[in-house]
Structure 1
Amino acid sequence: MDVADLKTFEAVARHGSMNKAASELHTVQSNVTARIRALEDELGLPLFRRHARGVIVTPAGQRMLPFVGRITRLIAEVQAAAQDDGAPSGSLTLGSLETTTALRLSPLLTEFAKTWPSVRLVVSSGTTARLVQDVVEYRLEGAFVAGPIDHPDLHQEAIFTEELVLVASPGVQSLKDLTKIPDLKTVVFQFGCSYRQRLETFLAGLGIVAARPLEFGSLDAIVGCVSAGVGVTLLPRAIVASAHEAGKVSIHRLPREVARVETLFIRRHDGYVSSALAAFLEMARRVYRTSKAKAAPEKKAA
């Protein structure tokens, strides 16, 4: 069984399309089709059901997928370990919440890039649910997500804590005003965002059943819609501080159990910790430990 065939199978299963898999693998569709047929012939059973819009993984294919991910990742880790001489280099593929990227990661990524220029660092954004899945399925080496997380395959480490606030249009003076808004809408990231889940639970506790949420893929779009009075959202206080100071939005404190959220760095228990990943984590701990230390005197003085 050829590793290239397994990688092709995984790509087709993920995209549900031979053509999209071919584009990702930088080859032509006929090569993808040939590899899948060869794999099916070797196994003696179909891995996909074809239809007009693409393919669907068969039950046999579904049973294979977890093993394919482990095999391909293990081979990649073998190659990485063989080439890892202790000096951070090579690629490092991470994920992060968009809010974390915008609010926290800039100084860390800048310092890391300057300190270790030989590392090809790639950071993609997504919801907590999506990032957890990508780490579990070996597509990311690690990710910054919102806690709590409970998954047997994941190692997690608290990096910093955020204070969430409810964000509304300037005309909303208090949380009580929300109960007076007919068909209140939430303006949120796509399904799987933990902030979204907290917001829906909090509103339900106020007796508010929000209308169908409006989903956006960018932070700027969410803040802009909230400012215009389209709906409300839940975001870290620091993210919306400038918009609040400019009078574009109102922010409202929440009970501690709703407002306090830990940002965790997750990685697989069985994943290879490369020199690049180890250096990144060491720098993250130092940078955010320093940030906390600087913030402490301000809190005490307040």
Structure 2
Amino acid sequence: MESGDLRVFRAVAQEGSITKAAHKLGYVQSNVTARIQQLEAELKTPLFYRQHGMILTPDGEKLLPHAIKILQLLNEAEKELTDSNTPTGRLSIGTSYYISSLKLPEMLSQYHKEYPNVDLSLITSNVDDLIYKILQFKLDGAFVKGRSIHHENIAEELVYEENLVLIANPAYSELKTICCKPFLMNTAGCPNRKSLEKWLQAEGICNIRYMEFNNLDSIIEGVVADLGASFVPHSSIRTYEEKGLLKSFPVPPQYSTAKIFFIRHKETVMTSALVKFIEKVKDMTSRVANA
């Protein structure tokens, strides 16, 4: 088996289509088809069902994890042989939708200024998709919020622990009055939203209304405009509170602590680009925590 054939096989398996795999690889479709047929002839077994797209056969399912591992080992060997103390090459980072207090744009901007030869990319997705991409070596690392990831192939570090507070227009002072208004929160699945619901249910408040925003600045501005209340990191609203534009209310600690982790595959090559990125994350998050 040639590594090129395995790359084509992996692409077709992941895309479920000859056309999409050819586009992803930059090949013509006939080349992809020929490589798959050649691999099947060499292994003397069909690897795909072809009725509706390209669906893996049982033998194809057996081959896929081996192909992924072989290609990753080749990639690691190349990285180790070409890596230097000066960060270069590709660095792919992921983050979940709900991370706001880390100031990622500022962090990425500073990293890019210090290491301009690194081809840095950032994708935003849900936690399950980020974990999948980490396990498939599609990402070098990712920021996830709310829960520790217990998986034998994932290494994680606690990056930041933030304190959440209830916020509302300064005109309000009682919890029940505040909770009659809608809560400006991220969409369902947000760890902050889950913690808010647990706390309010413990207080006997179950009829919670939401207005969904997926932008922290919009949420805060909405609260200032008395559109509703919210549940956000205290560090994100200090300036507004000091100016008297909104008021924050403490929440019991079992509901107000949110954790952010940086995760990576345990077998990911620790290139100088990744090592320097982790150092930058630790440096900036320590400053945010001490601010």
- Using the size of structure 1 for normalisation, the TM-score is 0.75
Mapped partners of 1:276, 1:254: distance in 2: 39
Q: Which moved more, 1:270-279 or 1:251-260?
A: 251-260
Give the alignment of 1:188-207 within 5 angstroms.
188-189=186-187, 194-195=191-192, 198=195, 206=204
Percent of pairs identical after alignment?
32
Q: Secondary structure in 1 aligned to 2:160?
A: strand
1:38 matches 2:72: no
Q: Aligned pairs, how many? A: 288
1:116 matches 2:115: yes
Task: Give the conservation status (yes or no) of the 8 Å contact 1:99–1:239.
Answer: no
Mapped partners of 1:51, 1:2: distance in 2: 27
Mapped partners of 1:55, 1:248: distance in 2: 57
Of 274, 277, 282, the residue aligned with 2:274 is 277
Q: Deviations over 1:37-85 (max 9, x none)?
A: 2222222222222234x23222322232222222111111111111112
- Using the size of structure 2 for normalisation, the TM-score is 0.77
Q: Secondary structure in 1 aligned to 2:92?
A: strand
Mapped partners of 1:229, 1:34: distance in 2: 63
Instruction: Name 1:16's counterpart in structure 2.
Output: 16
Mapped partners of 2:226, 2:50: distance in 1: 46
Mapped partners of 2:12, 2:29: distance in 1: 11
Task: Give the conservation status (yes or no) of the 8 Å contact 2:18–2:54.
Answer: yes
Mapped partners of 2:283, 2:217: distance in 1: 33
Instruction: Name 1:299's counterpart in structure 2.
Output: none
Mapped partners of 1:246, 1:36: distance in 2: 65
Mapped partners of 1:190, 1:50: distance in 2: 37
Instruction: Name 2:260's counterpart in structure 1.
Output: 263
> What's the offset of the Cα at 1:130?
1.6
Q: Which runs of 5+ in 1 are unaligned?
A: 296-302
In structure 1, what residue type is equivalent to 2:272? S
- Structural RMSD (CA): 3.8
Mapped partners of 1:5, 1:167: distance in 2: 56
Task: Give the conservation status (yes or no) of the 8 Å contact 2:87–2:272.
Answer: yes
Instruction: Name 1:97's counterpart in structure 2.
Output: 96
> What's the offset of the Cα at 1:112?
1.0
Task: Select the structure of larger CA radius of gyration.
Answer: 2
Task: Give the conservation status (yes or no) of the 8 Å contact 1:113–1:119.
Answer: yes
Q: For residues 101 and 204 of structure 1, do their structure 2 counterparts lie closer, same or farther at Cα, with a shift above 3 Å needed?
A: closer
Give the alignment of 1:1-302 within 5 angstroms.
1-52=1-52, 54-100=53-99, 103-146=102-145, 147-165=147-165, 176=176, 188-189=186-187, 194-195=191-192, 198=195, 206=204, 208=206, 218-219=214-215, 223=219, 235-238=232-235, 254-293=251-290, 295=291
Mapped partners of 1:110, 1:284: distance in 2: 12
In structure 2, what residue type is equivalent to 1:286? D
Q: Which runs of 5+ in 2 are unaligned?
A: none
Task: Give the conservation status (yes or no) of the 8 Å contact 2:101–2:233.
Answer: no
